[in-house]
Amino acid sequence: MYNNWEELEESIDNCNKCKLCKTRLNIVFGTGNKNADIMLIGEGPGADEDKQGIPFVGKAGKLMDKAFDGLGIERESLYIANIVKCRPPANRVPEEDEATACLDYLRNQVILVKPKIIVLLGSTALKNICGKEYGITSSRGQWIEKKGILYMPTWHPAALLRDENKKIEFWKDLKEVIRKYNEITV
């Protein structure tokens, strides 16, 4: 584990721990406030993220930004990362060995950020962080506490693009995150 951001970011340069390195344009490490109280973790970069090297800048990210705006959350106040740091081909779900190869980077990001709350965006984030026994449909909107961190599983913003009915639940989950954050930081 690395004790500072410089060493951690340097450690991932030219990473070749899994086959995703062969097709990536950029490593999509993370973005935002490195001292954020709220962290969001998604699945992995898509095409726009791979091009720009920044998580959640494509259609799903723009939708998430609209939710932030509506709730009065500044994106820059959060820290946003993904389970895998390189784009899976055709935006497929990361395979287990790919996720495992990246998890130490993500764990180190969590250690350095020290968030109070982590929002898990979708099934891949939930299963890789909380355990394979968790399902997004049954866990969505329910607080999970592990090692002093509160986790809120919710839909991945890409799921909202496929099923507009999920937008209301996503909105409620983010409102609950803000409510809980205000409660624990008073």
44-90 pLDDT tens trace: 999 999 999 999 999 999 999 999 999 999 999 999 999 999 999 99
How large a percentage of the chain has pLDDT more than 90? Answer: 99
pLDDT score at 6: 96
Rounded to whole angstroms, how far apart are CA atoms 72 and 70?
6
C-alpha to C-alpha distances, 68 to 15, 64, 169, 173, nearest whole angstrom: 32, 6, 14, 12
Average pLDDT over residues 10-25: 96
82-111, pLDDT tens digit by residue? Answer: 999 999 999 999 999 999 999 999 999 999
Q: Residue 41 in contact with residue 120, Cβ under 8 Å?
A: yes
CATH of 5-184, one of 3.40.470.10, 3.20.19.10, 3.40.50.300, 3.30.420.40: 3.40.470.10
Q: Considering only CA atoms, give the Rg of the chain.
A: 15
Whether 32 and 115 have beta carbons less than 8 Å apart is answered as no
- Does the pTM exceed 0.85? yes
pLDDT of residue 186: 82
- Model confidence pLDDT, tens digit, residues 123-145: 999 999 999 999 999 999 999 99
